[in-house]
Structure formats: structure tokens, C-alpha cells
Amino acid sequence: MDFLDSFLAREDLIEKYKDNALLLYALELRMQLEDIQSVASDALTDGNNDKKCDLVYIDEEEGLAIIAQGYMSQKERTSAPSNKASDLNTAVTWLLNEDLDNLPLDIKAASAQLRQAIITKKIHTIQIWYVHNLPQSKNVTDEMNAVKLSLISSLNAYTDTPTDINVISLEVGRETLSNWYKSSSVPILVTNDFEIETPKGGYEIIGDNWTSYMTAIPLTFLYDNYQEFKDDLFSSNIQGYLGV
């Protein structure tokens, strides 16, 4: 079973949330959420006047906020429309820079919660997602990078000082959804053997059917292997790797 089979079997999402079902499915996969229905009631902002923002998810315990736009194509295409990605510029502007009194009800509560989390330094990372069911493309990636710069600019204008919030833009198309699904169903995706020098030493922990070793490793080891394995390198992280 691949992610699409898994998604199409989710009648609980598809029947209730229609075009937003894939967006919620992606959030559930990535954040390993147990009750996506409860999260949906708070996070979904999609409506007649949502200002191009379909979802705002805030997790203060993880220090993370996600601003997302979804698109579900009814026919096969080579890539998702890039203008839907650029729409996220509008979402960012309304969420962070517009007077709260002028915001439509569809996004007002989410905007107030996001701004409060920023002011109180409850979040250290904001991710921007464009979730769709088509192959990923360079055009969309370029648009998402532009949205990232727009968000950084909006944050700096909003806080009056250069922000230390980490901003990440993600095109969440077929390839990414497939990787997230594999990661959720197969805990460890990279099974290679590695030899790592540990000059500072460490200590071993042994369980019933497992063993681990606690130590410090060179950052260059992570960097070099990330170039080869990408997010799969972090697939065994129980909290889920949030990106770089």
C-alpha cells in the first residue's frame, strides 16, 4: 500500500472535509497526530473569505506553527499550479500584517493565536506548506522559496526586530507524501551500517531486544549523510523530523 491507497481509504476525512482531506492527512502523517478530527476543528481556516489560507496549525509544546494551502486535482497533471503556491503570500500578509479588526472571521482567531505565540516566543519554527496530489516541480519550489522570503519579511516587520524564528517552505506533493507515509509505517528507513569516530567516548544502553549507544558525533557526519538520504536519515526520530 502506498500513501494514495492509504489516503483513499480514509473515508472519515474525505467525506467530512472534502478538498481539505488531503491537507489533514498530510498533517496527521507528519505530526503523528492521534486525533486529527479535534485538530481539524481548530486548525482549518478554509472558507469563503479565508484570504488564501486553508490551515493554521500551532503546537506550542513543539514550538512549531504550520501555515498551509491545499489543492486536490481531479485529473492527472505533470505538476501542481504554481499560482496556488504564490497565494500563500496573501495568507502570510493577512495573518501577520493586517489589523486584527479588519480580518475576516475565517482567519481572525488563527491570526490572533499565531501572533500571540510569536510575541510570547512560544514558537521557534514556522513552516509553510503547499499540499497537493500531483508530482512536485521546480516551478512550485521556486514559488515556495519566494513565499518563505515574504514570511521572513513579514515577521521582521511584525516584530520590529530581525526575527530568530526559523522559516521553512515545503511543497508537499506525491514524493513527499510517499516519504512521510513510508516513514510512518516503517520506523527506520536507513538501514546502512556506519562507522563514526567518537573521541569523547560514550556509554551503551541495552534493552530486551535492542541496544543503543549515547555519544557525541561530528556535525559533518550528519551533513554528509543528509545529502544522500535526506529526511529518511531521521525516520526513527519518534517525534518526527521537522525539516531544515
- pLDDT tens digits for range 131-151: 999 999 999 999 999 999 999
Phi-psi region of 2 (alpha: psi -120 to 50; beta: other; left: phi over 0): beta
Instruction: Characterize the bridge pairing of strands 211-215 and 202-206.
Output: antiparallel
For residues 117 and 215, membership in a common domain is answered with: no
Mean pLDDT of the chain: 88
Determine the Cα–Cα distance for residues 5 and 8; give it in Å rounded to an integer. Answer: 5
Residue 238: Cβ-neighbour burial (10 angstroms; 0-12, 13-18, 19+): exposed
How confident is the model at residue 159, as a pLDDT?
Answer: 66
Q: Is the pLDDT of residue 220 over 60?
A: yes
Average of per-residue pLDDT across 15-28: 94
Cell numbers placing 10: 480514509
Is 240 contained in some domain? no
Q: H or E segment at 143? A: helix 138-159
Average of per-residue pLDDT across 116-141: 94
How confident is the model at residue 236, as a pLDDT?
Answer: 65
List of residues 6+ apart from 196 with CB closer than 8 A: 217, 218, 221
DSSP string, 93-121: HHHHTS-GGGS-HHHHHHHHHHHHHHHTT
For residues 172 and 226, membership in a common domain is answered with: no
Domain span at residue 211? 188-234
For residues 49 and 88, membership in a common domain is answered with: yes
List of residues 6+ apart from 58 with CB closer than 8 A: 43, 64, 65, 66, 113, 114, 117, 123
For residues 149 and 97, membership in a common domain is answered with: yes
Is 244 contained in some domain? no
Average of per-residue pLDDT across 107-125: 92
How confident is the model at residue 81, as a pLDDT?
Answer: 93
DSSP string, 10-63: -HHHHHHHGGGHHHHHHHHHHHT-S-HHHHHHHHB--STT-TT--EEEEETTTT
Is 121 contained in some domain? yes
Q: Is the pLDDT of residue 185 over 80?
A: no
pLDDT in tens, 54-67: 999 999 999 999 99
For residues 126 and 218, membership in a common domain is answered with: no
For residues 21 and 124, membership in a common domain is answered with: yes
For residues 51 and 13, membership in a common domain is answered with: yes
Owner of C-alpha cell 494514495: 4
Is 211 contained in some domain? yes
Is 242 contained in some domain? no
For residues 124 and 225, membership in a common domain is answered with: no
For residues 195 and 163, membership in a common domain is answered with: no
For residues 42 and 108, membership in a common domain is answered with: yes
Domain count, the chain: 2
Owner of C-alpha cell 484570504: 51
For residues 230 and 177, membership in a common domain is answered with: no
Task: Give, in order, the Cα–Cα distances in Å from 212 to each of 140, 205, 208, 215, 227.
Answer: 40, 5, 12, 10, 24
Q: Is the pLDDT of residue 96 over 60?
A: yes
For residues 106 and 227, membership in a common domain is answered with: no
- The one-letter code for the residue type at 225 is N
Owner of C-alpha cell 516541480: 137
